[in-house]
């Protein structure tokens, strides 16, 4: 069982935040049985399997899309303005 590092994954994904979203969605698919892992199990948890898939160069965003789940990372890329609350006042959060 080879150790997976963030640096290995960042060679395939644009930034750490995208990596977290992508790995979380893929790990969820593996955990729920929506999709089988593309790497050997090696007694690893779904999170590690997802990170190993990313580090090994599998197109995880495509795997997520094929299984009916919209990749979170693509949604964030397309509409970054929806993430922020515009014209909010402190009273809006009380």
Q: For 63-93, how does the pLDDT look when each residue is reduced to its tens digit (9 = 90+)?
A: 888 876 555 554 444 444 555 555 666 676 6
pLDDT at 17: 93
Task: Give the pLDDT score at 70.
Answer: 52
The reply to whether CATH 3.40.50.620 applies to domain 6-86 is no
Kindly report the pTM of this predicted structure.
0.68
Q: What mean pLDDT value characterizes the chain?
A: 80
Q: What is the pLDDT of residue 62?
A: 86
Q: At what angle do helices 46-55 and 16-32 cross, to 10 degrees?
A: 130
Cβ burial of 47 (10 Å; 0-12, 13-18, 19+) is middle
Q: Residue 7: exposed, middle, or buried by beta-carbon count in 10 A (0-12, 13-18, 19+)?
A: exposed
Kindly tell me if the per-residue pLDDT of 59 is higher than 50. yes
């Amino acid at each position: 069982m080879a150790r997976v590092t963030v640096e290995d994954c960042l060679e395939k994904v644009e930034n750490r935040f995208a990596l977290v979203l992508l790995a979380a969605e893929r790990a969820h698919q593996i955990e729920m049985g929506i999709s089988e892992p593309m790497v050997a199990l090696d007694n690893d948890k779904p999170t590690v399997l997802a990170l190993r898939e990313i580090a090994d160069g599998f197109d995880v965003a495509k795997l997520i899309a094929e299984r009916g789940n919209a990749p979170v990372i693509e949604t964030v890329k397309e509409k970054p303005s929806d993430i922020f609350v515009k014209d909010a006042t402190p009273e809006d959060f009380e």
